[in-house]
Amino acid sequence: MAPPLLPEQHSLVRSLVLHLFPGAALFAFVVAAAAIGVPAVVALLAGIALVVVPLELGYLLFQGRRRSGHWSLSEVVAYGEPMPSKGVALWAVPLVAWFIVILIFSTAVLDERIAEGVFSWYPESIREFASFDEGTTYATWILVVFFAAAFAINGVLGPIVEELYFRGHLLPRIERYGRGAPLLNAILFSLYHFWTPWQNAGRVLALLPWIYTVWRKRSLKLSIAVHISVNCIFLLLVLAAVR
């Protein structure tokens, strides 16, 4: 049996630009918003909706129209191998558990040291983007609105679009690197998070089994399930810490 044909392969430079540009644009948006007094965590949520989603989804739709003549994702998004829901759950549970364990370990052991030792020049508002002011009491309606928006934008919308873009489009276009493709995708996807560069070491380690499994299974459905689960669990942990 002949091996499957690879989709159009991107040059390394093009791949670097396409992986990193949306994150750089989001970071610029967050810094600019924080500079005028918008809390960085609010700016991040707004930036996902107003910067990341339009850039990434718009690029995919543009490429789909260029190839097929109409606005479509089917021509440019790969990894559509069918996987039953039971199979998705069987793979997603250990992958999500691994990610959360590494995230907790990295947060406890690495992140603060790296942030203070290497990225102390980052604006403090950015380094503390995920925190709430200590000693401040928040009205219930503020927390309800914030977390409803957070779950909708960072828990569902953002992960779906990012998976279509990074795993459905960009990863298949570096498959010429073989087993190195998931590693390169994991590193670049981590670097894409310009607003938390001190998390890169732990984040890459957490991402590798996830992206490698998606690459092997050719299942975007699995990747979306893992990404939504990870982000929602993170938000639940933040919610549990807020009083």
β partners of residue 102: none
Give the other-Cβ count within 10 Å of 139's Cβ: 8
Q: Where are the alpha helices (DSSP H) in the chain?
A: 12-35, 40-47, 53-68, 85-106, 112-117, 124-127, 140-152, 158-162, 180-191, 200-217, 220-241
Query: Would residue 161 count as lying in a domain?
Result: yes
Instruction: Say what percent of the chain tops pLDDT 70.
Output: 93
Helix (H, G, I), strand (E, B) or coil at 130: coil
Q: CA angle, corner 93, sides to 90 and 97, nearest 5?
A: 150
pLDDT tens figures, 88-109: 999 999 999 999 999 999 988 8
Residue listed under structure tokens 């007094």: 37
Query: Would residue 119 count as lying in a domain?
Result: yes
pLDDT average, residue stretch 16-32: 96
Query: Would residue 25 count as lying in a domain?
Result: yes
pTM of the model: 0.92
Task: Identify the band that residue 1 occupies on the pLDDT scale cut at 50, 70 and 90.
Answer: very low
Query: Would residue 6 count as lying in a domain?
Result: no
Instruction: Say what percent of the chain tops pLDDT 90.
Output: 68
pLDDT tens figures, 147-178: 999 999 999 999 999 999 999 999 999 999 99
Distance CA 31, CA 116 (A): 19
Query: Would residue 19 count as lying in a domain?
Result: yes
β partners of residue 219: 80
Query: Would residue 64 count as lying in a domain?
Result: yes
Task: Identify the band that residue 200 occupies on the pLDDT scale cut at 50, 70 and 90.
Answer: very high
- pLDDT > 80? residue 33: yes
Number of structural domains, the chain? 1
Angle at which helices 12-35 and 180-191 pack, to 10 degrees?
A: 20
Query: Would residue 7 count as lying in a domain?
Result: no
- Contact 130/238 with Cβ under 8 angstroms? yes
Q: Which residues contact 12 (CB under 8 A, 6 or more apart)?
A: none
pLDDT tens figures, 98-140: 999 999 999 888 888 898 888 888 877 777 665 544 555 667 8
Q: Provide the residue range defining the domain that includes 200.
A: 12-241
pLDDT at 237: 87
